[in-house]
Structure formats: C-alpha cells, structure tokens
C-alpha cells in the first residue's frame, strides 16, 4: 500500500519488474519486463515491427515547437510502452536500462528517489526491490505534491533542509542502500548554462546521499554532456569504489543528458581539510 506522508492516502496500480516476456508479456504487478534482449519491454524500440508514424495536423494557434513536441510524443515507442504498462513517464525506462546494466537494485534494498514526481523511477524501484511484498522499502521524496505510488512512501520535503534527513531516516528506519536522482534544472537552451545548473543539482543530491547512504550503497544521478567533472567527480571517486557514466538507450539521442552511477559507498570519511 502506498502512503503519502503529507497526509494524502490511497494507492495507484502500476510498476515494472524483471520477469516479463517483453511487449505484450506480463511480469510482477501485471507489467511486461525483461533484461535487455530483442523486443523486450526495456527496449520497446527493438520490438518486432515498426510503429506506424503518426502525422500531426497543424492546428490554429499551435506553435511550431508544440507541433514538433506532439509529433515526437505520438511517435515515441517508449511513450507508448509506458502508457501500456501503466508507467508514469518514459523516463522509467532509463532506470530500468541502467539497472539491467549495473545491477543497481536488489531484493530487500532500501531506496530513496529524490525529485520523484511524477513517480516513474519510484514505480520501477518498488517492483525491483520487492516493496509490494514488504521485502524492500522505497521512499519517493519531492517538494511537489504527487499521486501515491503503490508500495512506496511519499515524502514531501526539501533536500535543502536538514530536517528532511531525519524525516527520511525515520521512514527508512536507518540508512538507504540506493539514492536516485533524476532531477534536472529547467533548460535554457544554452548548453554550458544547462550543464552547470544540472551539475549543481547533482552536487546537492550527492551531499544529501552521503548523509543517508549505508556503507556499500549506490548513488545514481543525472548529469549533462561532459558528465561529472572537476570537484563533483573528485568527490564521487573519494566516496565510492566505482564511478561510471552511461547514457541509456531510452535517453533521446538529441538530449545532452547522461547518468553517473557510483557504487560501493565507503562510508563517512573524515574531512581532508579538517585539522
């Protein structure tokens, strides 16, 4: 059962496990799922046969940019598959593909999804750690109100605030095994600015993760083209045994986004600048 800590109760069906048979198949929670492979739900663009292209008629008053966005959405196989499986966003396939590659989730793990709204990554985490069977635990944290996710706790909080750490630890009854962040600042169209703003969000998410992760834990976050650099990359390498970058297939080719996957948290380290 899903519970919204801000007071909104209820639940919503949907999710994405590993044991399905691809598009048209079923897996835990009634969803198709697969680990890679031709035609798997994790890679709907590889499915048998091509989707028929949908042409969008020009509508009076609709901007050209809106026209292009609508056409892209209607012809995106990930959008169609997310809708079929009851996933809240096509972004869910990004964490599915990252998990298939790096083994981010395990049954029984405690997962925190930062900037969780609308809940696509949270749905995937619930399925893959077994939260619906009370095996694992998933907390979706966001400043925005969001619909409950079956099997997850939803915490309305601001990661800038120190009290959020204590509220989260209370829900987890301890530390987290995985911290996820798909947060990104609104794009400006200026590549360098967008990169710096998203890196700043990644740094903020990392600071929060280092306060709540258990030793051996994993941190996954969005960065833009160029990946984690400079101080951020140094901080990741200092605190984790493995730091890798990846761009999942579900990430649009024209997007500058990529993801950093840091595994093997070393635990709280002494400040090298401290006396």
Kindly name the residue from 13, 94, 222, 247 that is annotated as catalytic: 222
The predicted structure's pLDDT at residue 19: 40
Which of 47, 62, 85 is where one domain is finished?
A: 85
Question: Is position 225 annotated as part of the catalytic site?
Answer: no
The predicted structure's pLDDT at residue 228: 67
**DSSP strand pairing (213-224 vs 137-142):** unpaired
Kindly state whether residue 118 falls inside one of the protein's structural domains.
Answer: yes
Shared domain for 219 and 166, answered yes or no, is: yes
Kindly state whether residue 148 falls inside one of the protein's structural domains.
Answer: yes
Kindly state whether residue 35 falls inside one of the protein's structural domains.
Answer: yes
Sign of CA dihedral 3, 156, 164, 235: positive
Kindly state whether residue 51 falls inside one of the protein's structural domains.
Answer: yes
Which of 85, 103, 118 is where one domain is finished?
A: 85
The predicted structure's pLDDT at residue 98: 98
The predicted structure's pLDDT at residue 255: 80
Predicted TM-score (pTM) of the model is: 0.76
The predicted structure's pLDDT at residue 197: 85
What tokens does 27 get? 């897996």
Shared domain for 80 and 189, answered yes or no, is: no
The predicted structure's pLDDT at residue 47: 53
Shared domain for 172 and 107, answered yes or no, is: yes
**Which domain covers residue 68, as residue numbers?**
28-85
| Residue 18: CB atoms within 10 Å | 17
CB-count burial class (<10 Å; 0-12, 13-18, 19+) for 161: exposed
Domain count, the chain: 2
The predicted structure's pLDDT at residue 198: 83
CATH number of the domain bearing residue 231: 3.40.50.150
User: Could you list the pLDDT tens digit for every one of the 275 residues in the chain?
Assistant: 455 554 333 333 334 555 432 333 333 333 444 444 334 556 665 554 454 554 545 545 555 544 443 445 455 688 888 888 889 898 999 999 999 999 999 999 999 999 999 999 999 999 999 999 999 999 999 998 999 999 999 999 999 898 999 999 999 999 999 999 999 877 787 877 877 888 889 999 999 999 999 999 999 999 876 666 778 999 999 999 999 999 999 987 878 788 999 999 999 765 555 54
Which of 48, 66, 85 is where one domain is finished?
A: 85
Shared domain for 113 and 61, answered yes or no, is: no
Kindly state whether residue 270 falls inside one of the protein's structural domains.
Answer: no
């Amino acid at each position: 059962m899903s519970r919204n800590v801000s007071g909104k109760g209820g639940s919503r069906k949907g999710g994405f496990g590993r044991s399905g048979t691809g598009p048209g198949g079923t897996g835990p929670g009634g969803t198709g799922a697969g680990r890679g492979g031709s035609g798997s739900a994790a890679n709907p663009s590889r499915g048998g046969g091509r989707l028929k292209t949908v042409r969008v008629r020009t509508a009076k008053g609709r901007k050209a940019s809106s026209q292009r966005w609508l056409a892209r959405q209607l012809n995106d196989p990930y959008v169609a598959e997310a809708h079929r499986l009851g996933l809240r966003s096509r972004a869910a396939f990004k964490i599915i593909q990252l998990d298939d590659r790096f083994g981010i989730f395990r049954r029984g793990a405690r997962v925190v999804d930062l900037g969780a709204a609308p809940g696509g990554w949270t749905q995937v985490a619930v399925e893959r750690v077994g939260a619906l069977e009370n095996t694992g635990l998933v907390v979706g944290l966001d400043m925005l109100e969001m619909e409950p996710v079956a099997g997850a706790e939803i915490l309305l909080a601001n990661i800038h605030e120190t009290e959020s750490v204590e509220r989260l630890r209370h829900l987890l009854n301890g530390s987290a095994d995985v911290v996820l962040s798909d947060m990104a600042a609104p794009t400006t169209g200026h590549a360098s600015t967008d990169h710096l703003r998203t890196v700043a969000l990644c740094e903020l998410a990392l600071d929060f993760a280092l306060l709540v992760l258990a030793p051996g834990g994993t941190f996954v976050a969005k960065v833009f083209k160029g990946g984690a650099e400079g101080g951020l990359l140094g901080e990741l390498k200092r605190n984790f045994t493995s730091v890798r970058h990846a761009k999942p297939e579900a990430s649009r080719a024209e997007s500058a986004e990529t993801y950093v996957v840091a595994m093997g948290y070393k635990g709280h380290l002494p400040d090298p600048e401290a006396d």
